[in-house]
Structure 1
Amino acid sequence: METRVAIIGIIVEDNGSVEKLNSILHSYGEYIIGRMGLPYRERGISIISIAIDAPQDIISALSGKLGKLPGISTKTLYSKVTGKARREGSDEASD
C-alpha cells in the first residue's frame, strides 16, 4: 500500500470540540508521526500541526472528520514523496 507524508494544519476556535478532536487523533495514532500544539491566548484560539504518513484516503478521512467538528478548521498539505507502508517489525525503510 502506498503512503504519503502530509501535514494537517488545525485551527481550534471552539474549545468545546477539543475532547472529540483528541479522540479522533488518538484513533489515527498509528499513522501520526508527530503533533505540535500552540495556544494563542491573545486570540483565544489554538493552532495544531499534525505530521502524518498514511495512505491518501486515510489522510483525507482524518482531515474531513476533524473539519466537520464545530469551531475546527483544517487544511492539508501533501508531500510529493510517496512510499510503501512499513510492515510491523520490518527494518526496511519506506521508499
Structure 2
Amino acid sequence: MDNRVALMAIIVEDKDSVKELNELLHEYGEYIVGRMGIPYHKRNISILSVAVDAPNDIISSLSGKIGKLKGVSIKTAYSNVGNANG
C-alpha cells in the first residue's frame, strides 16, 4: 500500500486529554515526520501540527482516535505525493 503525506491540525481545549494524545502520538511515532506544539495561553488551548508519512488507513486510524478524545479537534490535509519508495 502506498504511503501518503498528510498534515494533522489539532486543537486541544481540554488539558485532561493531553496525556492520551501524547500516548497516541507515541504509538504512531514511526509514521510521524515532525510535530510542533504551540501553547496559546491567552485562549487556554494548545495548537499542534503533526506531519505524517503513512498508509491511508494508518492516517485515518490515528485521526479517528485523536478526534474521539474529549476536548480535542482535528482536521487532516492530504498531499498528492505518492510513495517515496517507488
| Structure 1: gaps of 5 or more residues | 84-92
Q: Deviations over 1:17-45 (max 9, x none)?
A: 00000000000000000000000000000
- Structure (1 or 2) with the larger CA radius of gyration: 1
SS in 1 for 2:69: coil
Structure 1 stretches of 4+ with a deviation exceeding 2 A read none
Which position in structure 2 is the counterpart of 1:94? Answer: 85
Tell me the amino acid that sits aligned with residue 56 of structure 2.
Answer: Q
Which position in structure 2 is the counterpart of 1:78? Answer: 78
Matches within 5 A, 1:1-95: 1-83=1-83, 94-95=85-86
CA RMSD, 1 decimal: 0.8
TM-score by length of 1: 0.88
SS in 2 for 1:94: coil
Identity in percent: 63
Deviation at 1:94, TM superposition (A): 2.6
TM-score by length of 2: 0.97
Deviation at 1:82, TM superposition (A): 1.3
| Structure 2: gaps of 5 or more residues | none
